Amino acid sequence: MTPLLDVRDLTVRYPGRNRRSAPVRAVDGVSFEVSAGETLALVGASGSGKSSTAAAVLLLRRPDGGEVWFDGRELTALDEAALRAVRPAVQPVFQDPYGSLSPRLRIRDALAEPLRVQKRWDPVAGPARVAELLDTVGLDQRLADRRPHELSGGQCQRVGIARALASEPRLLVLDEPVSALDPSVRAGVLNLLVGLQERLGLAYLFICHDMAVVRHFAHRVAVLSSGRIARTTTARALYPTGTARPKTAVDTRKAAAT
């Protein structure tokens, strides 16, 4: 099966501290694939290149080398106009749930915004879609009138996920999505993400430094070290005695039924 995301020999460099120092090779020839319905975790020490890889996959930053293929198209070869059409399909969810939402916008407007920007807003279907998005992420409709600071961190991160879903993505780039949350609400948000993946067949590129979370949430794990992939393995192989997720979402459903 063709992977949904296929990253080949990705390189990201930043200028050195001063004119005489060499550029920083933040990502140095990284390759990996993620299929629909699959979670690949990117793990590694601070500074190993996880966020730079994510930014390149989201094409927030053009890579200095290599290719990013999505659904059979080479994104790195597209111009800005062509990329605009693809961007809704690849959505980020960031670590800081409050920082990723405008403090001024009520939740209903934060969820309507992607639809308006993508010229998909309809005065009748739009509000119904906003209500459906709140429902999908398990939030009460009454929260629609509130602003981010009136929500808990977990509620706010659910809004961030709903906002990503508004674009009907096929791949979510989850950059430490539960690290800033209270431990008591982390499991709820992770379970929501697992359920969404199973229902919608979403692919996840999951950046995380908490190996206990990786073990339960990811199907496969790529270990980054100094901008290179040191190892790619199944979560099960990393934790032979643990209870890692089965290999695919389909297997997960089978496991749940037994």
Ligand X SMILES: Nc1ncnc2c1ncn2[C@@H]1O[C@H](COP(=O)(O)OP(=O)(O)OP(=O)(O)O)[C@@H](O)[C@H]1O
Positions touching ligand X (CB under 6 A) are 14, 24, 26, 44, 46-52
Residue number with CB closer to ligand X (54 or 190): 54
Min dist. Cβ of residue 153 to ligand X (A) = 19
Using DSSP, state whether 5 is helix, strand or coil: strand
Of all helices (H) and strands (E), which one includes residue 70? strand 65-70
- C-beta separation of 73 from 21 below 8 A: no
Q: Which is nearer to ligand X, 61 or 216 (CB)?
A: 61
Strands 39-44 and 203-207: parallel
Q: In this complex, which beta carbon is closest to ligand X, that of residue 52 or of residue 155?
A: 52
Cβ proximity to ligand X, 41 vs 134, nearer residue: 41
CB 196 within 8 A of CB 161: yes
How far is the C-alpha of 92 from the C-alpha of 171, rounded, in Å?
Answer: 9
| Min dist. Cβ of residue 13 to ligand X (A) | 9
Rounded to a whole number of angstroms, the minimum distance from the CB of residue 96 to ligand X is 12
Residue 207 CB, nearest approach to ligand X (Å): 7
Sheet holding 203-207, edge to edge: 90-93, 171-175, 203-207, 39-44, 220-225, 228-234
